[in-house]
Amino acid sequence: MKDIKLSNKTNKLEQDPYIYQLQDVSAPELFREMFPYTETPKIAFNYRHVPENMPEDIFITDTTFRDGQQSRTPYTTEQMVHIYQLLHKLGGPNGMIRQTEFFVYSEKDRKALEKCMELGYRFPEITTWIRASKKDFELVKSIGIKETGILVSCSDYHIFHKMGLTRKQALEKYIGIVCDCIEAGLRPRCHLEDITRADFYGFVVPFVNRLMEISRESGVPVKIRACDTMGFGVPYPGAALPRSVSGIIYGLQHYADVPSELLEWHGHNDFYKGVVNATTAWMYGAGAVNCSLLGIGERTGNVPLEAMVFEYASLRGTLNGMNTQVITEIADYIKNETGYDIPPMTPFVGENFNMTRAGVHADGLMKNQEIYNIFDTTALLNCPPKVSVTNTSGIAGVAFWMNQYFRKIGKPEVDKSAPIVQKVHEWVSKEYENGRVTMISDEELTEQVNRHMITI
């Protein structure tokens, strides 16, 4: 008999005969037509569209101290504490950066976690990521943590080939771990690793249905983090599972009854889709997107947290209390204090993200910054637009650079027709006429400006 019930999401009567049962297959489902391995992965379409369902409350969670430390030199205790303070400052009074997660295995990580807790911030709430053992549950509970992440790999690549289990054995193992976590007095956050290569209806939905039953019976919220571990997710309407981000988020809500406030997306950027996939997850029902600062993470990295700050503002028309100037402060701190080399063209945080090298662009910037600047980067990021001087910069590029320099030393701006601009541009032109191929450095330009200020 088909069940007809009033949906509290759509406020319509819905007829849904589908109750998915675990399919305990004898051989792994590896979706070889989609993931041939020796060829580029294929994006298949079945033209099944699902409705958008953006939650009223969408927010960011952070994995800078967990996934973000897996691909770089680990932060020191002092650096972690300072970065946590900056996350708090960036997220603002409304807790837009809702949580951040820590490892607890080393003395250094535990010390950093404890020092951050001593600050007494409500946001970001400190959570952990641990191995699935009772010993670890007791460890984090004794520290005072309320929520912890648990790895529950869900593709057959992991179940069969990494763990050597059947789907039924894996499900029973995971359920036991989650129950142990709840028994220890913690809120479990289940990290469904490799969901974009998993059998969605044959394993994921039956497993998450069990988790939601446990949550209802225990009264303890069980979070579901959908992990696009390999970056295979795609945002395209009508794309087929398991790669469809909208299909995954819709399915977890519609077939497994996961409320948006308990549903997170954790993406990677292997195919350049990290940000758009995270935004798609928000648009189709996930309350949270999990990010790391500067996108630092395993392989190609995670979803950059700073990117989702601006995605939120673009979608909602407000920053909701977030202080975006802190993004530049964070980038400068990580670069200068930890030695991390930020690629110069990285949006929002790279040294050259708002730098132009073309003379025609520099001329436009001098007339009106809106012509060639993405937004008021001075107001939002405390980072004025810049130019670099090369053989293509022209006299406008020299004038723009010079006015930036003059502002620093408290002198009035000059027009590109000013004699000093003409003199410096003549020197630049001669450098390239004589065979130079490198960019003119700020130090060289400063020397020329100072020299001609004396002679003119």
**Phi-psi category of 299—alpha, beta or left, where left has phi over 0 and alpha has psi -120 to 50?**
left
pLDDT (tens place) for every residue of the chain, 456 residues total? 457 888 777 788 887 667 899 999 999 999 999 999 999 999 999 999 999 999 999 999 999 999 999 989 999 999 999 999 999 999 999 999 999 999 988 889 999 999 999 999 999 999 999 876 778 888 888 889 999 999 999 999 999 999 999 999 999 999 999 999 999 999 999 999 999 999 999 999 999 999 999 999 999 999 999 999 999 999 999 999 999 999 999 999 999 999 999 999 999 999 999 999 999 999 999 999 999 999 999 999 999 999 999 999 999 999 999 999 999 999 999 999 999 999 999 999 999 999 887 766 777 777 788 988 999 999 999 999 888 888 888 898 888 888 888 887 888 888 888 999 999 999 999 999 999 888 888 899 999 998 888 654
pLDDT of residue 442: 86
Q: Cβ atoms within 10 A of the Cβ of 232, count?
A: 24
What pLDDT is recorded for position 2? 59
CATH of domain 44-338: 3.20.20.70
Tell me the pLDDT tens digit for each residue of 71-102.
Answer: 899 999 999 999 999 999 999 999 999 999 99
Condensed to tens digits (0 to 9), the pLDDT of residues 199-250 reads: 999 999 999 999 999 999 999 999 999 999 999 999 999 999 999 999 999 9
User: Tokens representing 355?
Assistant: 């730098």
- Asked if 33 contacts 240 with a C-beta cutoff of 8 angstroms, the reply is no
Q: Where are the domains of the chain?
A: 44-338, 355-455
With contact defined as beta carbons under 8 Å apart, do 302 and 274 qualify?
A: yes
Residue type, 220: V
Span 118-129, pLDDT tens digits: 999 999 999 999
Strands 4-6 and 13-15: antiparallel
pLDDT for 367: 79
**pLDDT at residue 209, rounded to an integer:** 97
Output the pLDDT for position 18: 75
Cβ-based neighbour number of residue 92 at 10 Å: 17
